Amino acid sequence: MPQERHASMLEVFPEMWSYAFMRRAFVATTVLSASVAPVGAFLVLRRLSLAGEAMAHAITPGIVIGFVVGGLSVLSLLVGGLVAGVGVAILTAFLARHTILRSDASLASLYLIALALGIFILSAAGSAVPLKSFLFGTILGIDDASMILVGGVATVTLVSFAVLLRPLIVSTCDPGFFESQTRRSWLVDQGFMLLLVLNLLAAFKTLGTLMAVGLMILPATAARYWASTITGQLLLSFGFALASCWIGLTLSYLFPQTPSGPAIVLVAGGFFLISVLFGPLGFGGRSHVSSATREVPISHTLKEEKT
């Protein structure tokens, strides 16, 4: 019996790869992992994890309006989501500057309104597309246009990080110093938020609005328990994200009733729990972590970047 089980497991992978939709899903999630990993790592380092979750819901009405107007066209969904995401970001900054509310309260209020509005519009339009596909994605049914979108966003993200990496590191570690040395420091922040919105839109067709941010945040938080430098966190975030996608897709194939998006995020959650328990910066390492350890190690990072 053990030999038969072992043989059957070995037969699963060639069988799985024989299907075109599975190959496309693996390729799309691999490219997506490379794109969302740096965004997620800096969301965690800049303490904007909840902002990423909020933006994932804030783009919902734009995506829904784009769908109602132009159908499932990738261009209409991209334009609608981009306008909604950028609009919420600008309005959040405006409210934070000119009212008593801080940016976190403003963003929380706006994203809740946006999420409810998006679901209301989708239901009122009498769409034939089920709400589940918007919330949880359709990674196993990804089309050519969506593949191009994921590849294009990944290219823009990686090229942008090649340019913005050092400014992002300095603004993350010492924002006061960065603002004193740069006249337009807000450009880095807004550029980063734009990359966040683009990656959420790329992940929308694969994981849906509810699951997309999970692939950003969970691998990044897991990596934080293992690496104390930004470079290490970027690499580990990609590794955890890639492993989560591949294992999650395999589980969804072995258990057909298991949705792929939630399976991927649950695997990422498993990596997070393992990291919390056994990571050198979690419970498995030092029993007491000083406040200085929790901060970004700027001196070590800058030395590493120079080398």
Mean pLDDT by 10-residue block, N- to C-terminus, for the chain (307 residues)? 49 79 91 94 86 79 78 76 83 78 75 79 64 66 85 94 88 78 76 88 77 88 92 94 94 85 91 94 66 47 48
pLDDT (0 to 100) of residue 177: 75
241 within 8 A of 223, measured Cβ to Cβ: no
164 within 8 A of 191, measured Cβ to Cβ: yes
**Domain residues for 94?**
19-306
**Is 5 part of a structural domain of the chain?**
no
136 within 8 A of 261, measured Cβ to Cβ: yes
**Is 38 part of a structural domain of the chain?**
yes
Which is nearest to 170 in space by CA: 39, 307, 298, 306?
Answer: 298
**Is 1 part of a structural domain of the chain?**
no
pLDDT in tens, 117-132: 877 877 776 655 555 5
Report CA 135 to chain centroid distance, whole Å.
15
**Is 197 part of a structural domain of the chain?**
yes
189 within 8 A of 12, measured Cβ to Cβ: no
pLDDT (0 to 100) of residue 153: 93
**Is 9 part of a structural domain of the chain?**
no
**Is 141 part of a structural domain of the chain?**
yes
pLDDT (0 to 100) of residue 109: 81
**Is 7 part of a structural domain of the chain?**
no
3-state secondary structure the chain: CHHHHHHHHHHHHHHHHCCHHHHHHHHHHHHHHHHHHHHHHHHHHCCCHHHHHHHHHHCHHHHHHHHHHHCCCHHHHHHHHHHHHHHHHHHHHHHHHHCCCCHHHHHHHHHHHHHHHHHHHHHHCCCCCCHHHHHHCCHHHCCHHHHHHHHHHHHHHHHHHHHHHHHHHHHHHCHHHHHHHCCCCHHHHHHHHHHHHHHHHHHHHHHHHHHHHHHHHHHHHHHHCCCCCHHHHHHHHHHHHHHHHHHHHHHHHHCCCCCHHHHHHHHHHHHHHHHHHHCCCCCCCCCCCCHHHHCCCHHHHHHHHHC
User: What's the structural domain count of the chain?
Assistant: 1
**Is 3 part of a structural domain of the chain?**
no
Give the predicted TM-score (pTM) of the model.
Answer: 0.81
**b or e along 69-95 (b: 16 or more beta carbons within 10 Å of the residue's beta carbon)?**
eeeeebebbbbbbbbbbbbbbeebbeb
pLDDT in tens, 163-182: 988 888 888 887 777 777 77
CATH number at residue 190: 1.10.3470.10
